[in-house]
Structure 1
């Protein structure tokens, strides 16, 4: 009887050990998406999930670019902007683990060119000029800014005021980076022996988050003066509203101060009365050196060789083309690193010089008459 009891107990122990051994196995995972690389779209959900093949559960962990984002069996990923994302899944228990890595590529959204696309500006997104003699007149108003939309032979002219004043516009499609010049921007410079240029710096941006708004990173199209030792990067200027017909004072991040002076041809406040802040206005960008001077008794402002708008540029052959041209291959990020752009969606132009001029001619203020996508004939 004792022998029988021992045999029975040994059998039970063996069965328990066998069952325990069967349950303690590494996760046997069934992934709903089994590939390692994939392409998706901005604002489009990808539903990742992991199940078990043998009915035995385990712990889950999902990481997005190294950060834990889920500890359950599934993870829904919706990219908010273009880029390359790494999603890592790990299943684990006391016996072992299983890992799988996904690389998700999300291209920049592109609005394709169609037979109905126009080469001209179709939208002005923002207009914020710096103080200037034409500001708060038709050439310096929100209504006036909309007049650069459309055929450049019929468009109006908008003034950007002093340094940093800007306008942002776009087309009904993404502008493609082709060989050579991609954009043409029109102004009203003068050439010859009495040149009058009001150089504007051009920046471009892609609609990386696909929301149709110019709220993504900007890239400067570096012109001839980008590496000039006299050019100041990351320049900031703050204008103070005089609240009337009076000189507009300014200070900058270089420890300087000065004024933009009113004149008797424009008897009104030079500070933009539609600016969000009616006390102070801070504008930023790359500051180009002044080219103000005289040719005999005539005041002039010389153009730069190439890469700026509203500038009678010799290298740009403005005399023939009647516009300044820009190549998207010139794009640099805020650190001066070259950026490869296949397309762009938004263009920003701002006054690049801080030159008050005089009370006869007024300040140097870039003016824009329109723009064209050179890729559309």
Structure 2
């Protein structure tokens, strides 16, 4: 009997040890998620708190990773977006038994200034005017800061942008919607017929992704008919040097070329913009369109492109009847040439797209603009 009792006791002891070993095996953490939906929408500048809690006092380490960067190690993480876009937030809990992870896709919509019955179809604000050198630059009625402001509210006042790269940036009192067909009309002063005179300008658009009301976000080019032409140069860069006198304005570019914007006898003043922040040199970057300068008999001409450029008597957008160049926001591409989907835009940039000195009779090719309208507002 005593032997049997010893055997039972030994068996019970082994059973208890075995049970303890099974219970001692660590298990991965089981955090309780405050938000169990993987897709989250957060407004710009709005605080959104992600949090986890523990079950029965369980402890584990936490890690929050936003777009690959660790942003928190606590049981809570507060996300306050400063720029619209799509973000990936990964939460990871870890203990000695393993780990648990969960991924959130956070969408921050681009803020939109809605159209109202009182919205104007015309430009409401000119943010920046920085022309390249040219024969009309520094002349009050066509090449000055004061003239740039006259683009507001109408399409009747002409502004020159100077040689390649010179630009103007403007916006409306609302976000422009991307609807079917042309969304923007930009007015210039081209000439058609057998003796065409076009001074093609490239158009870019931007969204107010950070919501600060300023054009300091990413720009997208509206790819026109020449965007994929082998003769079109992407990432072109040119630097002009201020002669600080009535003299030719020399330039060099990143293609190993050099040249000048030449003076003529009709405009006897410095062609370098005297209101530019830098009075030594000016550098512009963008897409360079091929020159279309030539002659028709004894008359000098500069031919238009098919579509997609302003100040261009283009057949593709029926300039003859419309009296403006039309632009579709759906043409937008990013800096790598990839098409982007923009539901709205807030800012527009127009810059001279050709580097052509012309001659001393007609001067350099320089895009002119008389205004712009939102075609979605009648």
The alignment's TM-score, normalised by the length of structure 2, stands at: 0.91
Deviation at residue 271 of structure 1 after TM alignment: 0.5
Deviation at residue 186 of structure 1 after TM alignment: 0.2
Q: Which residue of 2 aligns with 1:235?
A: 236
For this pair of structures, how many residues does the alignment match?
Answer: 364
Partner SS state of residue 227, structure 1: coil
Q: Which residue of 1 aligns with 2:81?
A: 79
Give the alignment partner of residue 154 of structure 2, picking from 151, 155, 160: 151
Give the alignment partner of residue 46 of structure 1, picking from 32, 45, 48: 48
Deviation at residue 227 of structure 1 after TM alignment: 2.1
Residue pair 1:23, 1:56 contacting (<8 A) in 2 also? no
Q: Which residue of 2 aligns with 1:324?
A: 325
Instruction: Provide closer, same or farther for how the CA distance between residues 226 and 97 of structure 1 changes in structure 2, counting only shifts above 3 A.
Output: closer
Bigger CA drift: 21-30 or 339-348? 21-30
Deviation at residue 156 of structure 1 after TM alignment: 1.4
Aligned counterparts of 2:200 and 2:300: Cα–Cα separation in 1: 16
RMSD: 2.2
Q: How does 1:266-281 map to 2 (within 5 A)?
A: 266-281=267-282
Aligned counterparts of 1:23 and 1:122: Cα–Cα separation in 2: 69
Deviation at residue 60 of structure 1 after TM alignment: 1.3
1:165 aligns with 2:163: no
Gap runs ≥5 in structure 1: 1-6
Q: Which residue of 1 aligns with 2:35?
A: 33
Partner SS state of residue 321, structure 2: helix
Give the alignment partner of residue 122 of structure 1, picking from 121, 124, 131: 124
Deviation at residue 199 of structure 1 after TM alignment: 0.7
Q: Which residue of 1 aligns with 2:145?
A: 142
Q: Which residue of 2 aligns with 1:106?
A: 108
Bigger CA drift: 233-242 or 91-100? 91-100
Deviation at residue 94 of structure 1 after TM alignment: 2.0
Aligned counterparts of 1:324 and 1:339: Cα–Cα separation in 2: 22
Residue pair 1:223, 1:307 contacting (<8 A) in 2 also? yes
Instruction: Provide closer, same or farther for how the CA distance between residues 23 and 52 of structure 1 changes in structure 2, counting only shifts above 3 A.
Output: farther
Aligned counterparts of 1:83 and 1:332: Cα–Cα separation in 2: 17
Residue pair 1:119, 1:373 contacting (<8 A) in 2 also? yes
Aligned counterparts of 2:153 and 2:319: Cα–Cα separation in 1: 21
Gap runs ≥5 in structure 2: 1-8
Q: Deviations over 1:226-272 (max 9, x none)?
A: 22222211111110000111100001111111111111221111011
Give the alignment partner of residue 90 of structure 2, picking from 72, 83, 88: 88
Q: Which residue of 2 aligns with 1:360?
A: 361
Aligned counterparts of 1:54 and 1:23: Cα–Cα separation in 2: 17
Partner SS state of residue 148, structure 2: helix
The alignment's TM-score, normalised by the length of structure 1, stands at: 0.91
Aligned counterparts of 1:77 and 1:100: Cα–Cα separation in 2: 16
Give the alignment partner of residue 66 of structure 1, picking from 47, 68, 72: 68
Q: How does 1:144-223 map to 2 (within 5 A)?
A: 144-152=147-155, 155-223=156-224
Q: Deviations over 1:328-373 (max 9, x none)?
A: 1211222222222211111111001111111221111000100011
Deviation at residue 127 of structure 1 after TM alignment: 0.9
Residue pair 1:28, 1:54 contacting (<8 A) in 2 also? no
